[in-house]
Structure 1
Amino acid sequence: MIRTILLACLSILLVASIITKPDAAFQASLQGLTVWWNIVFPGLLPFLTLLELMLAFGAVHALGTLLHPLMRKLFRLPGETGVAMVIGWTGGFPCGAETAAALRKSNTLTAKQGNRLLALSHLPSPLFMLLVVGTGFLHRPELGIAIALIVWLSALLPALVAARFTRREPVQTGQAAVDRPAAGIFRQAAKAMREARERDGRTFGKLLGDAVSVAVYKLMAIGGFMIFCAVLVKLMEPLLPSSIPPFVLSGLIESHIGTYAVSAFSFAGGVPWKAAAIAAVLSWGGISALLQAGSAIAGTGLSLRSLAIARILQSAVAFLLMLLCWKPLTWLMNGVTPAASAFAWQHDETYTSGIGAIRAGDLLSLWPYAPALLLIFTCGITLLAAVSVISARLRLR
């Protein structure tokens, strides 16, 4: 009851603020719309459509099956949670939370397991990090690659540590009773892909139309959050002490406008500190990402407070990892992509023009970085498959 009254009072206060400052609210709304329409929407629509096609054709389910032994051995989670991890890491907010909630509702995992899975799978979209942040906001695609690697690593490390201090829990009714033989893991992946395609059953024409519709719906939801949070940030700015950088409030509330605010801010420490701040904002995800997760997990017994604590921890880990790994990442990017030689610059020359000037044409081509991205993806899949096979064999002994 108290929470309801508090939320009602805050809503009334927000409406009153918009009425008293309509010009500021309109300008903030227009700025959020500009970034979304000119960069986020055209940059992500084709790739979100392809992601929906991958889900329908079962490619994501096949990758999830490859992760079955890995999830059991390393994270002490049911093997079925591999699908949630793959969907969350490829689809972004709130795909991982929705899948974790579905597994919890089917009694595939306990509440404790669900909370750990939620923290591991509720991550920003890699397409947003590579395309929008790397090429659109920063005009440095190699920075997008580095930021994505750090964000993923900051999610993996706390999950691995938490698993080491977690006792193995009894098998739930929805879990598979036996482990998959190591020798047949690839056959199981192919079977999962075929079964997912058969369950879908839509023709290619119908599937393509639905994929576009779902992608547009997701982008509309993202746009709504961005515009609302941009207005909220603008109205709260006068309350912020002058000693606090302006991007802190944006990053606290919404990751899309937060990362843009960070990319437009000049850091005394140069590019490494800017990249670290962006990684921290993306790992946190913003209050809007928490609200999306809260909507997905409602009625499942999963804890939004636990997710918020995990997000704060991952944000701190991401910030520190980026600073600690800056030189190794510089060496890696210079080695795999000659075009990324500017990655080692220590002075801040990222894109910082006005928010109204940014356009879809500002998205640089990722084609020079395609070999590096393909190499990283191939090595990642190979490594996951190898670790899964080894984990399955060790478990069967």
Structure 2
Amino acid sequence: MSRLLCRQRVREVLLGAALLCATLALLLYPSDAIQAAKDGLLLCYNVIIPSLFPFFVLSSLVVELGLAGYLGRLLEGIMRPVFNVSGACACAFALGFIGGYPVGAKTAIRLYETGMCTKTEAERLLAFCNNSGPAFILGVVGAGVFASSRVGVLLYLAHAAASVCIGVLFRFYKAGPRSAAGEMRPQPRFEARRFTAAFTGSIQNSFRSTLNICAFVVFFTVVIKLLFLSGFLPALARVLGGVLAPLGMTQAWTERLLTGLIEISSGVWTLSGDGTMAGRMSMAAFMLGWAGFSVHCQVLSFLGGSGLSVKTYLIGKLLHGGLSALFVSGLVRLFPLRAPVSDYLAEQVAGIAALEFHTALTISTVCAWVLFLFFLFVACAAARKGLGKRRRPVL
């Protein structure tokens, strides 16, 4: 089967058949496709743009101004023994937890492009720094889907713990003195005189990156809607449900899993229906760790011609989903939760899109600039410390 798919003509035939089916689906369900696109655009307007754009600007400024290099001098003693990466990679790790996907991955790629880290270190970062933000897990998943802030906290703790474990595991990726000696990185430079150029460039590049992400969100929102209307996704769920039946997976649970594998926002909202609390939380944890093909396409668009391997990223996300689900199942046993009595009636995308734009934008912008000022303060302290050592007379 794999040899058959490797042939170019077979791939072209399959791609042509897929495009033909997509065209037929758009012709058969035009109003539903338009409504799905509107829901995706509303989601981008109310959530994606205000939550990601400020952090994209922040991550770009931290790298372009050389702040990551000075942070690396202070955090080298932590990042190197734990994750086997340079201290400059700490900004990608921090922004990945606070800004959500794909801020961490974009920062890691930019660190590699500017010479702040080696190729191997960037590939290690991609495996564990592209995480869901606390606003999405605590607000949307915890409060919105499960109507419980306690559930959100448990999911976020499991998500963070799994990410750290993946980082520790991938510290052995291409480890060895030979690989370390073959990759050199230039010394970082703090160029404050370039702030104007860096600021305007960060705004422009961040806006293009945000629009790129919005395009993928709208596309996959329409795709999921058409897959359900055409009956393809339910049929695939029936087939996989029979295969996964020994694991306790029914058709309904399989449909939820497939939806989450494609797009995380739609996937987590399917968990607001029936099912045990432990089962729904474990699946939510897996979806949050895996992130969905929509997020993966966003990361791949940033990789471009960087030369970084996508294998470590995909393997890391798969392991992240599995470990998150495992940790949640353990936390639920330690802190038992009862399923709420009320029913949660929420559309898959409309529930998230109902968030107020100005509130989300204000919170996201304030958090981004507070974090930027913190990075700037630490970098200035490191620079002053370095200058003090240089001026110290030699006895």
Call closer, same or farther: CA 1:55–1:357 in 2, change over 3 Å. closer
Q: Does 1:347 align with 2:352?
A: no
User: Does the CA-based 8 Å contact 1:54-1:60 persist in structure 2?
Assistant: no
CA positional deviation for 1:157:
0.9
Match of 1:234 in 2: 225
Separation in structure 1 between the aligned mates of residue 257 and residue 312 of structure 2, nearest angstrom: 22
Q: Does 1:360 align with 2:355?
A: yes
Separation in structure 2 between the aligned mates of residue 197 and residue 132 of structure 1, nearest angstrom: 39
Call closer, same or farther: CA 1:326–1:64 in 2, change over 3 Å. farther
Separation in structure 1 between the aligned mates of residue 67 and residue 138 of structure 2, nearest angstrom: 20
Call closer, same or farther: CA 1:259–1:292 in 2, change over 3 Å. same
Match of 1:316 in 2: 322
Candidates 78, 81, 89, aligned match of 1:73: 81
Q: Secondary structure at the match of 2:83?
A: coil
Match of 1:299 in 2: 305
Match of 1:200 in 2: 195
Q: Does 1:131 align with 2:122?
A: no
User: Does the CA-based 8 Å contact 1:130-1:145 persist in structure 2?
Assistant: yes
Match of 1:90 in 2: 98
User: Does the CA-based 8 Å contact 1:115-1:303 persist in structure 2?
Assistant: yes
What RMSD in Å do the two structures reach over aligned CA positions? 4.0
Separation in structure 2 between the aligned mates of residue 311 and residue 303 of structure 1, nearest angstrom: 14
Call closer, same or farther: CA 1:110–1:201 in 2, change over 3 Å. closer
Match of 2:180 in 1: 170
Separation in structure 1 between the aligned mates of residue 264 and residue 224 of structure 2, nearest angstrom: 12
Call closer, same or farther: CA 1:215–1:251 in 2, change over 3 Å. same
Match of 1:224 in 2: 215
CA positional deviation for 1:83:
2.5
Q: Does 1:253 align with 2:245?
A: no
CA positional deviation for 1:317:
0.8
Write the deviation string for residues 298-346 of structure 1: whole angstroms up to 9, x where unpaired: 2222222332222111111111111112254x4xxxxxxxxxxxxx531
CA positional deviation for 1:219:
5.6
Write the deviation string for residues 66-125 of structure 1: whole angstroms up to 9, x where unpaired: 432222111112333222222323322222222322333345555443322111212223
Q: Does 1:153 align with 2:161?
A: yes
User: Does the CA-based 8 Å contact 1:130-1:148 persist in structure 2?
Assistant: yes
Candidates 275, 282, 299, aligned match of 1:276: 282
Matches within 5 A, 1:321-340: 321-328=327-334, 330=335
Call closer, same or farther: CA 1:217–1:139 in 2, change over 3 Å. farther
Which deviates more, 84-93 or 217-226? 217-226
Candidates 97, 117, 124, aligned match of 2:125: 117
Separation in structure 2 between the aligned mates of residue 151 and residue 318 of structure 1, nearest angstrom: 5
CA positional deviation for 1:215:
7.4
Call closer, same or farther: CA 1:47–1:21 in 2, change over 3 Å. closer
Largest Rg, 1 or 2: 2
Separation in structure 2 between the aligned mates of residue 11 and residue 66 of structure 1, nearest angstrom: 52
Candidates 135, 151, 154, aligned match of 1:143: 151
Separation in structure 2 between the aligned mates of residue 85 and residue 286 of structure 1, nearest angstrom: 20
TM (norm. structure 1) is 0.67
Match of 1:285 in 2: 291
- Aligned partner letter, 2:24: A
User: Does the CA-based 8 Å contact 1:94-1:293 persist in structure 2?
Assistant: yes
Separation in structure 1 between the aligned mates of residue 129 and residue 96 of structure 2, nearest angstrom: 5
Call closer, same or farther: CA 1:202–1:100 in 2, change over 3 Å. closer
Separation in structure 1 between the aligned mates of residue 211 and residue 156 of structure 2, nearest angstrom: 23
Q: Secondary structure at the match of 2:180?
A: coil
Separation in structure 1 between the aligned mates of residue 125 and residue 35 of structure 2, nearest angstrom: 39
Separation in structure 2 between the aligned mates of residue 360 and residue 92 of structure 1, nearest angstrom: 17
User: Does the CA-based 8 Å contact 1:60-1:87 persist in structure 2?
Assistant: no
Gapped runs of 5+ residues in structure 1?
178-190, 331-343, 366-376, 382-397
Call closer, same or farther: CA 1:316–1:10 in 2, change over 3 Å. same
Identity of matched residues, %: 22
TM (norm. structure 2) is 0.68
Separation in structure 2 between the aligned mates of residue 88 and residue 119 of structure 1, nearest angstrom: 11
User: Does the CA-based 8 Å contact 2:86-2:117 persist in structure 1?
Assistant: yes
Q: Secondary structure at the match of 2:84?
A: coil
User: Does the CA-based 8 Å contact 1:138-1:350 persist in structure 2?
Assistant: no
User: Does the CA-based 8 Å contact 1:93-1:125 persist in structure 2?
Assistant: yes
Match of 1:336 in 2: none
Matches within 5 A, 1:39-50: 40=47, 45=50, 49=54
